[in-house]
Structure 1
Amino acid sequence: MKTIQISFLTLLLFTSISCQSKTKNNKQEMGQKEQKETLKQMAPSNEELQKYETAYFASGCFWCVEAIFESVKGVKEVYSGYSGGKKKNPTYEQVGYGRTDHAEAVEVYYDPNVISFPQLVQVFFGSHDPTTLNRQGPDRGAQYRSIAFYKDDTQKKTIEDYIAKLEAANVFGKPIVTQVKPFEKFYMAEEYHQDYEKKHPNNPYIQQVSIPRLNKFKAKFGSYLKEDTH
């Protein structure tokens, strides 16, 4: 009986800090039509985008990944969403319950005059464990797999060369399982996921997983940080 109680408490704790933990109020915060309109308003205008490039990465819960890339100098904006699969317009519930082959991903708008794509690749590999298959921290499932997306052969070579460098130096002590995939389509996640860490600093998952992960990254990449995020 004691063993069963301990197991139940462990499961309860795990559930409480999972990226999938949501309240019904969050899920139903706004209707689909309102969601789409809000996301349109959030997206940068074409005029704003002219000086920025985009890069796409997946490395676990997008709440964490978004916060990490937003702390990097030269990054204008980061959006949470879904990529790497074939289903059109996936929802969080579909992705979270494995009904699509998408991963939680981020879209990074960056100024190439301030931060380069190779440096963003360094940020990507330096801010998560690329050796855990379909898992990142307490989050398990293919939607949390590690993916570095490329838009051309130059970016593909940059990613593959960096992986080879990390493995030659045995940086992680285990083989890197990150997928290197051509970028096809990014679907922006529901509005309530955007800037989640910033909006919900007291959320148990944010407190116990996301913030420690961000702080660990900051300690290693101080020279890459925006002045107001040191």
Structure 2
Amino acid sequence: MSSRSGRSSVTPTGWALLGVLSNSDELSGYDIKKWTEWSLRFLYGSPAYSQIYTELKKLEDAGLLTSRVAGDGGARTKRLYKITSDGSAALREWADESPVDPPQLKHNPLLRVIFGHLTSPRRLKEIMQEHVAFADRMQREAAVEARWAAEEPAWAFGRVALQWAERYYAAERELALRVIKDLDEAEEAVAKSSTETVCGTPPLMRERWYEIERRVKAEEG
């Protein structure tokens, strides 16, 4: 497969791995994994080893990177990956010209909240408290890594992203705390309803749902 024809099949994770390789001469799969855990995990997620090696194989088949086996053939043997000139050109084209899809939020704690009628406010608050702790930890870790990124000029843009991550998780923490407070209001609203289901939540009739939808669309124009 030619490098140009293979570009269309590169996944977002594949572009991310090429981006990692663009910062170094050669990297092993272990090196790439460590790099993603250092930076990408705060804003894109850190792919598993199996996904990394699957993507690397696809990128090599497309001519966007090369690999070689280094070592003595024993336990110290490892495969090193290097971006090709075609890979660098494709990566720059992707960075400069490819459309940027908006982020798609998949928020597991809030998925529980939106179906909160299936559990109790107490359980929902426990879930959100756990999320507060997660956001707090991610904020602190992003702050540390952003500070250390300042030690290396080559990481200047990475530091900008890490600083964003620090602010993002700080905001996420505050939003989660607000949800915990809002759950009290939701519980009161449900308690005031005279008609309840087995789950203790007012039923939402189909006709009522569509009526609300029409009003929302009218307001949105």
Global fold match (TM > 0.5): no
Q: Which has the higher contact order (CA 8 A, sep 6+)?
A: 1
Higher radius of gyration, 1 or 2: 2
Higher strand share: 1
State TM-score, norm by structure 1: 0.24
